[in-house]
Amino acid sequence: MGARRGAGWLRWDAEGGGGLGGVEEGQRTVQEEEEAMELRQDMLTHGVNVVAAEDAGKRRGLAVAWATQVAKDRVVISVGEHSATRELILASKAFGLSVLRRDQLEVARRFGTQSSRDVDKFEGIGFHAGETGSPLLDECGAAFDCVVDAVYDQGWQKLIVGRIVGAEFAEEEYEPLLYRQGDY
């Protein structure tokens, strides 16, 4: 049950509910949480993005590695329950998704290691408002302005589906910043 290592590989045994999905909030053991973290960090390589929202004069953002395109004009992001940015996304019903370039490690760290409640993560960083009013970073590889299309409660996190209403792309090709095994 859960994530297991064997012969140099991490395996997931879906029977028994293990570390992901299908478990009511608060029912996971510490070991299952650790196994889920190990599975999450070892299983996939993700691009790093900044998700941002603005509502009622507040602007917040966070770095996420769990964003994916699910249709021609839809993306899904996963945002935890304690995120100050999630509050603004749900209130404004919109968010900006900025795809970070390989040379933007410091931007990823700034948006990924501090709470927006405690610090203005946008200070000194170029950004502009998209059509929805959501902040989009100026110097990123691509940026998508999204309206919230659906929200799926997954216990401690929400999967938020955004319909893309605007897109911007860097003029030059770029290498995306990647996140794998808990590091950039």
- Domains of the chain: residue spans and CATH: 2-43 (no CATH), 46-179 (2.30.110.10)
Q: Is 160 exposed, middle or buried (0-12, 13-18, 19+ CB in 10 A)?
A: buried
Q: Which residues pair with 161 in a beta bridge?
A: 76, 150
Taking the alpha carbons of 64, 66, 68, 73 in that order, is the dihedral positive or negative? negative
Taking the alpha carbons of 55, 57, 58, 64 in that order, is the dihedral positive or negative? positive
- Considering the chain, what percentage of its residues have pLDDT values greater than 70? 74
Note the pLDDT tens digit of each residue in 101-146.
999 999 999 999 888 888 999 999 999 999 999 999 999 999 999 9
Considering the entire predicted model, what is its pTM? 0.77
The confidence score (pLDDT) of residue 43 equals 60
The confidence score (pLDDT) of residue 23 equals 40
What is the pairing mode between strands 67-71 and 74-80? antiparallel
Count CA atoms within 13 Å of residue 68 on its CB side: 7
Note the pLDDT tens digit of each residue in 1-33.
444 444 444 444 444 433 344 444 455 666 776
Collapsed DSSP state (helix, strand, coil) of residue 171: coil
The confidence score (pLDDT) of residue 16 equals 42
Residue 171 has pLDDT above 50, yes or no: yes
Residue 183 has pLDDT above 80, yes or no: no
If pLDDT is split at 50, 70 and 90, which confidence band does 181 have?
low
Residue 76 has pLDDT above 60, yes or no: yes
If pLDDT is split at 50, 70 and 90, which confidence band does 50 have?
very high
